[in-house]
Amino acid sequence: MNINEPGWPVTLTHDRVTLRPYRRSDAAAWSAVRRLNEKWLAHWEPASGMSWHESNSPAGFRAMYRDLRRSARAGGVWPFAVCYDGELVGGMTVGNIVRRAFCSAHVGYWVDERHAGRGITPTALALVCDHAFTRGRLHRIEVNIQPHNTASRRVVEKLGFREEAMYKAYLYINGQWRDHVGYGMTVEDVTGGGVLDTYLKGREQAA
């Protein structure tokens, strides 16, 4: 097994959900949806030192895009635009990718409030996990979530992530150091046809 296989760039799709690398031309669409979702997203994300309007401007996107593209070329991050029926509705970033004996990464994500509850985020995360554990050659995926972010915690729990730890004062958000709950999944946890297959079968049984 080649543990240095980067698994990037890649486009992942299931039904109406597609994850693809960001494009420079996404600036206007990304800015519009991010600015519209300030109340929905701002209390979960570290501040940039600028106003939400400024940091989520088209210029803010282009600066982020340059940084992410550089890091992706170095193998440290996979930055995905999350699209629904071709429309950019969120983002999912596989970051802090470490190879060799660790083969681990963290995942962070956001979605437009208008599209929440449609299964977009768990589908996207399941696609990412399946890719990470196969072509991406990762052994472990972690997701860290503020304790009271129940919607985000439901996403990882639906996919079978384990609650593993409480990280005290983990990130500085909204003027305070915020605790986070640590969730993890390793390739050994994946059964059947993969994370997405297991999630979809669970949805069918619950319907």
Does 3 score more than 50 pLDDT? no
- Asked if the structure places residue 7 within a domain, the reply is no
Which tokens is 65 given?
A: 């895009």
Q: What pLDDT, on the 0 to 100 scale, is given for residue 49?
A: 81
The domain total for the chain is: 1
Does 2 score more than 80 pLDDT? no
Whole-prediction pTM: 0.95
- Asked if the structure places residue 153 within a domain, the reply is yes
- Asked if the structure places residue 40 within a domain, the reply is yes
- Asked if the structure places residue 165 within a domain, the reply is yes
Give tens-digit pLDDT for 183-204: 999 999 998 899 999 999 989 8
Give tens-digit pLDDT for 81-125: 999 999 999 999 999 999 999 999 999 999 999 999 999 999 999
Q: Which domain holds residue 114?
A: 12-206
- Asked if the structure places residue 36 within a domain, the reply is yes
Give tens-digit pLDDT for 122-181: 999 999 999 999 999 999 999 999 999 999 999 999 999 999 999 999 999 988 999 999
Q: What pLDDT, on the 0 to 100 scale, is given for residue 157?
A: 96
The CATH number of the domain where 87 resides is what?
A: 3.40.630.30
- Asked if the structure places residue 3 within a domain, the reply is no
- Asked if the structure places residue 2 within a domain, the reply is no
Three-state secondary structure along the chain?
Answer: CCCCCCCCCCCEEECCEEEEECCHHHHHHHHHHHHHCHHHHHHHCCCCCCCHHHHCCHHHHHHHHHHHHHHHHCCCCEEEEEEECCEEEEEEEEEEEECCCCCEEEEEEEECHHHCCCCHHHHHHHHHHHHHHCCCCCCEEEEEECCCCHHHHHHHHHCCCEEEEEEEEEEEECCEEEEEEEEEEEHHHCCCCCHHHHHHHHHHHHC
- Asked if the structure places residue 129 within a domain, the reply is yes
